[in-house]
Amino acid sequence: MTFHETLLQILNRFSETNPIFLWLFFAFSNFAENVFPPWPGDTVTAFGGFLVARNLPAFGWIELITSTLIGNLFGAWVMYRFGQIFLDWAKKKEFPFKDSIYDEQSIEKTLAWFRKNSILVVLFSRFSAGIRFFVSIVAGMVKMNPILFLDVLASR
């Protein structure tokens, strides 16, 4: 079997997949991209656009956009909550080499800058997978208004 035939077989299999599973697949992919930045969520979403362009009867632009949006919001929310929990844990917990990675003065300086620029930072971070991962965590650390955080994410 040639590469071209294999590729067509894969595309046909995706085209025949239940639309609910496709929706869940693209939502999970975008969730994973937020929680595990090396995951190629944008590439998977571009593949979803390719599937939509094939005019599948039950999976169109609305399904792709909603699955992408829900997956992104849920993934960002998980990292936001992680940021809230992690900073409190790091302050209270004693662990080896804490002094070399946890400097209260530097952290407070960084968090103050983030509070001042949070909306712009969150908005622009959505365009870079590696950055969006950390920005969601820091937004949780500074306890950015959760409704504002999700609103800025959804407006992307």
Mean pLDDT of 137-155: 89
pLDDT band at 156 (very low <50, low <70, confident <90, very high): low
Question: What is d(CA 23, CA 9) in angstroms, rounded to the nearest whole number?
Answer: 20
Phi, psi of 41, deg, nearest 5: -60, -40
What does the pLDDT read at residue 127? Answer: 82
Structural domain count of the chain: 1
Range of the domain at 8: 3-154
pTM of the entire predicted model: 0.83
Are 95 and 101 in contact by the 8 Å Cβ rule? The answer is no
Q: What is the pLDDT of residues 101-126, one digit of tens each?
A: 778 888 899 999 999 999 999 988 87
Question: What is d(CA 15, CA 9) in angstroms, rounded to the nearest whole number?
Answer: 10
Q: What is the pLDDT of residues 33-60, one digit of tens each?
A: 989 988 888 889 998 998 888 887 788 9
